Chain A
Amino acid sequence: MIHTLENVIREHPFFQDLPDHLLEFIAGCAKNVRFPEGHVLLQEGDPANEFYFIRKGLVSIELIIPNRGPTTVQTIGEGEILGWSWVSPPYRWHFNARALEPTRALVFDGKCLRTKCEQDYQLGFEMLKRFATVITARLDATRLQLLDIYGKPS
């Protein structure tokens, strides 16, 4: 099982160029998971102690807005990383995440990784570098979304 997991991790660009011993450790913190459609992976306010690598499926990042109900702000799909609140205090989710279709993912034990990162700064830096890239890409996309580029010219 761990070998298959490790291969999946090795092949994904997110985990590329990591030294073997770190890859092994990370793989050791990972598990395969499946969610049916409608399953809530993350709940706003809950402790953030994991992150996901989506292998197949579609997950919506939502906020419950008064009078509007659950509102999707963005969706995350195949090959993307979900959840970075495990990195910084107070380690709580800011959004809900719900599977819009049957979804397969790898879940990583964030608490375990956090502890190890505090001891092994190389691991810490490598993880933070990668998450910084994820966050930047998400920020770029969000900014574009905000620009309302298809809106009517005023």
Chain B
Amino acid sequence: MSPQALRSDKHVIVAARQFDLLLQALKDVGFEVVGPTLREGAIVYGQLASVKDLPEGWTDEQEGGKYRLIRRTDAALFGYSVGPVTWKKFLFPPVSRLWKAERANGQFQIIPEQQRPTKYALVGVRACDIQALAILDKVFLEGPFPDPGYQLRRANVFIVALNCTRAGGTCFCASLGSGPKVTAGYDLALTEVLKNGDHYFVVHVGTEAGARLLARIPHDLASEEEVAFADNQVAEASRRMGRTLNIDGIKELFYRNSESPRWDGLANRCLSCANCTLVCPTCFCFTVEDTTELTGVHAERTRKWDSCFTTDFSYIHGSSVRPTPRSKYRQWITHKLAYWQDQFGSSGCVGCGHCITWCPVGIDITEEARALREGELRAGMRGEEGGR
């Protein structure tokens, strides 16, 4: 079918056995294809040379502080929820050199790095991931100083989204309205269907680029029944979320409770290990490191991911403003669920549940929010009356 006929909003069917052609087509037009791969007992994003690199027939079991891979009884290519990594690293690299400086004759000059970003095709981007990208766009592109590196990488990326037909043990995107169905921000959106021996993908075209790519591989128009069946699978996932988060007045809830005794209990549990910030798809904090080498002739400035849980994150005038796990955890969760709304107009949380799964002591962001609410009810304070 020609691209013109494949405008946005059309649904087509691509057979699972022909899925590899999609990956090859992306490579043919110049993308480096990345997606879920199985490595060291976890599903992480890496290069997809072919469909064989996808974790076919695997699923995962996730709970607070627990992640296990388990064999499925079918051959689903995307039958799992999200692992410990996010797509963030392809748009906002963990380490990137910004410029070099050279000293000579008592003077120095600065040589900015030329950015030559790889064109990535991200395959298997969930709704929570898409929401996270939209949030990072606000952070890096809509402030007074848009980040040109992020801008360039973002403009060159191709997104093959995936509607989740299975909710993970710690997922709660439905509570935030950020999933499981992808609604925007993709070139193509897939829903994997395994039914009565058939294995295929219902593909929704999101953009012109998506249409043009799809035109290169065999596909058929999807019937209304096929679309409805796929939508139903996604709706089922929506009803089976592992967690829920009540977002009613959640910003004010956190503002009111900065001195809640709940934080003292957390102080005894949180290890300040920074896992949550590493696996969170929206955490954006970074540090700027200026280094030199022994001769003192060359210097560099590098940008690196950072975490508000590090000791010197808030260091000023000889000590840290937030030196304890208590204040660090409070900062992280209050930023994510409350401050973010004042800063960027939305929640910073997308309900992916990574922080719950990957916290070594199983601290649960949804449980903490719930505890604050219940604490107020027990104390006889009603949220609407403003408490303190």
Tell me if chain B binds chain A.
yes
Please list the residues of chain A having a beta carbon within 8 angstroms of any beta carbon in chain B.
153-154
Which residues in A have their C-beta under 8 angstroms from that of B318? 153-154
CB contact list, B306-328 vs A, under 8 A: 317-319
Residue of B nearest to A153 (CB): B318
Distance of B319 from chain A, by nearest CB (Å): 7
Residue of A nearest to B317 (CB): A153
Distance of A60 from chain B, by nearest CB (Å): 31
Distance of B315 from chain A, by nearest CB (Å): 11
CA of A154 to CA of B319, assembled, Å: 9
Classify the secondary structure of B's interface with A.
Answer: loop
Residue of B nearest to A154 (CB): B318
Distance of B59 from chain A, by nearest CB (Å): 53
Residue of A nearest to B319 (CB): A153
Which residues in B have their C-beta under 8 angstroms from that of A154? 318
Residue of B nearest to A152 (CB): B318
Which residues in A have their C-beta under 8 angstroms from that of B317? 153
CB contact list, B281-340 vs A, under 8 A: 317-319
CA of A154 to CA of B318, assembled, Å: 6
A-B pairs with beta carbons under 8 Å apart, 4 shown = A153-B317, A153-B318, A153-B319, A154-B318
Residue of A nearest to B316 (CB): A153
Which residues in B have their C-beta under 8 angstroms from that of A153? 317-319
Which residues in A have their C-beta under 8 angstroms from that of B319? 153
CA of A134 to CA of B317, assembled, Å: 33
CA of A153 to CA of B316, assembled, Å: 10
CA of A154 to CA of B317, assembled, Å: 9
Distance of A94 from chain B, by nearest CB (Å): 35
**Which 3 interchain pairs have the tightest Cβ spacing?**
A153-B318, A153-B317, A154-B318
Chain A proximity mask over B135-155: 1 for CB below 8 Å, otherwise 0: 000000000000000000000
